[in-house]
Structure 1
Amino acid sequence: MEQGSTNFLKAVVFFIGMIVLAVCIVGLPRFDPDSPYWQLPELANLQYPLLIGMYAAMIPFFFALYQTLKLLSYIHKNVAFSELSVKALRNIKYCATTISILYVVEMPYLYLLTKVDDAPGIIIGLVIIFASFVIAIFAAVLQKLLKDAIDIKSENDLTV
């Protein structure tokens, strides 16, 4: 049952990564500088900061997905209670925090975009910030619990 669950979770993580990668590739033509959408004077200076911010956030996102796959492989190999798992959780926490910070920096540009385009950019940005922040807190709690469990396990191994 456990191996089937970890394989399923690996497939889900891989599928999420492929969807985000497809959005990155397909979404790129929307930022074409020759597009009439970006020729509006209000939007002329927003294109590149938005594009740079979104693609900069993809780097920690994909690194976090990679760390998640590593963590799932540790669970699959029954070495979940190890320093490697703690390190993977710490990296996931840092990636989620980085994504939150990048989108906080991006929020003024999203505000200007929504002011002109009447798009839900602020809500989407806030959802990304909040979700990344929740993931960072969850990873930090799991990291602490796992570290405490490893410490207790090593104490019990020494008493035998």
Structure 2
Amino acid sequence: MQKITSVFLSLVLILIGTIVLLLCVFVLPRAAHITALIHPEVAYLKYPVLLGMYATALPFFYAIYETVTMIQVIRRESIFSTRIVEGLNYIKYCAFIIIGLYVLGISVLYYTNALPPAVSVAGLGIVIITIMVAAGAAFIKNVLNKTQLQLSNS
């Protein structure tokens, strides 16, 4: 049962990563091009915004890789492996990088008066979800550390 669950989780994560990759390759450039055509006054921001979006995709993909690796470690060894704590740290750092890049990008767009309301709402949503992921990773890491400490003391 545990093997089926871990395989299912890994497949779901790979599917999510594939969907995001396809969005980055096909949808983002097209959306940037259409936005530049509709709003020529901010067309000069087309490539910087695309670069920022791609920059946030890199830590996202690394976090997915770490999660799949952690699932394999849990299946082979135990949830109390030190590799799990390291993976949670990497996921937390990736979340902080994504948050920083989005806050920086939204700030730059705001100060250049090129921040549409839909982009600000979407960016805020992504930042909030990423904060929840970082907090969840930190919480699970602390629980694992406390449990490992209790197991070693008893």
TM value normalised by structure 1: 0.85
Question: 2:2, 2:122 → 1: CA distance?
Answer: 35
Give the number of equivalent residue pairs. 150
TM value normalised by structure 2: 0.88
Structure 1 position 136 matched with structure 2 position 113 = no
Question: 1:25, 1:56 → 2: CA distance?
Answer: 13
**Over aligned residue pairs, what C-alpha RMSD do you find?**
2.0
Question: For residue 112 of structure 1, what is the aligned residue in structure 2?
Answer: 114
What SS class does the counterpart of residue 114 from structure 2 fall into? helix
Equivalent position amino acid for 2:20 in 1 = V
Question: For residue 99 of structure 1, what is the aligned residue in structure 2?
Answer: 98
Structure 1 position 69 matched with structure 2 position 77 = no
Question: 2:10, 2:65 → 1: CA distance?
Answer: 10
Q: Which has the higher helix share?
A: 2
Q: Give unpaired runs (5+ residues) of structure 1.
A: none
Correspondences of 1:21-36 after superposition (within 5 Å): 21-27=21-27, 28-32=29-33
1:155 deviates by: 2.1
1:29 deviates by: 3.6
Question: 2:98, 2:143 → 1: CA distance?
Answer: 24
For the 8 Å contact 2:70–2:84, the answer to whether it is kept is: yes
Question: For residue 6 of structure 2, what is the aligned residue in structure 1?
Answer: 6
* Deviation by residue 1:88-119 (Cα, 9 ceiling, x = unmatched): 000001101111111001113276241xxxx6
Relative to 1, partners in 2 of residues 1:36 and 1:144: Cα closer, same or farther, differing over 3 Å? closer
Question: For residue 86 of structure 1, what is the aligned residue in structure 2?
Answer: 85
Question: 1:37, 1:128 → 2: CA distance?
Answer: 25
For the 8 Å contact 1:103–1:125, the answer to whether it is kept is: yes
1:123 deviates by: 0.8
Question: For residue 15 of structure 1, what is the aligned residue in structure 2?
Answer: 15
1:154 deviates by: 2.0
Q: Give unpaired runs (5+ residues) of structure 2.
A: none
